[in-house]
């Protein structure tokens, strides 16, 4: 009997196993191929429409003045795109990306709608 180990999780959790050959990545669940694992296909190549990814964002309280939001966005984006930060993210098996506040708002709305449907369909309740 062949043993099969299935690993579901962010690339960060298994990147060292993948890099050392202890784990073979079959697909990533993001919409596009990973910069860290460019030869690994996306799951949507096999399951059309499938996409799931984890992300982190920076928020500010409602009514924060626009000039402060813009500066926070500009400085955060500059930091994330610095060679040092890009290398650190790559070492951790992750990719940094930047956006503008309006784009981030659209992402939040889209993710809320997508995962809300999953929660309702699965009848998931908070404990």
60 plus 103 within the same structural domain = yes
Q: What is the pLDDT of residue 10?
A: 61
Task: Using a cut of 0.75, tell me whether the model's pTM lies above it.
Answer: no
71 plus 36 within the same structural domain = no
Domain-terminating residue out of 31, 54, 77: 54
60 plus 120 within the same structural domain = yes
29 plus 87 within the same structural domain = no
61 plus 112 within the same structural domain = yes
Per-residue pLDDT tens for 25-46?
Answer: 899 888 889 888 889 999 999 9
29 plus 85 within the same structural domain = no
Q: Which two tokens stand for residue 121?
A: 């369909």
17 plus 59 within the same structural domain = no
Residue with tokens 């030869």: 39
Per-residue pLDDT tens for 57-92?
Answer: 888 898 999 999 999 999 999 999 999 998 888 888
| Count of domains forming the chain | 2
Contact 18, 25 (CB under 8 A): yes
């Amino acid at each position: 009997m062949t043993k099969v180990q299935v690993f579901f999780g962010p690339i960060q959790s298994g990147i060292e196993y993948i890099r050392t050959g202890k784990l073979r990545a079959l697909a990533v669940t993001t919409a596009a191929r990973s910069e860290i694992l460019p030869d690994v296909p996306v799951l949507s190549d096999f399951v059309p429409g499938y996409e799931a990814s984890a992300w982190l964002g920076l928020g500010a309280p409602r009514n924060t003045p626009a000039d402060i939001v813009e500066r926070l966005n500009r400085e955060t984006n500059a930091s994330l795109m610095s060679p040092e930060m890009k290398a650190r993210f790559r070492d951790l098996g992750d990719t940094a990306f930047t956006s503008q506040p309006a784009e981030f708002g659209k992402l939040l709305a889209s993710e809320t709608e997508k995962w809300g449907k999953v929660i309702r369909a699965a009848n998931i309740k908070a404990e």
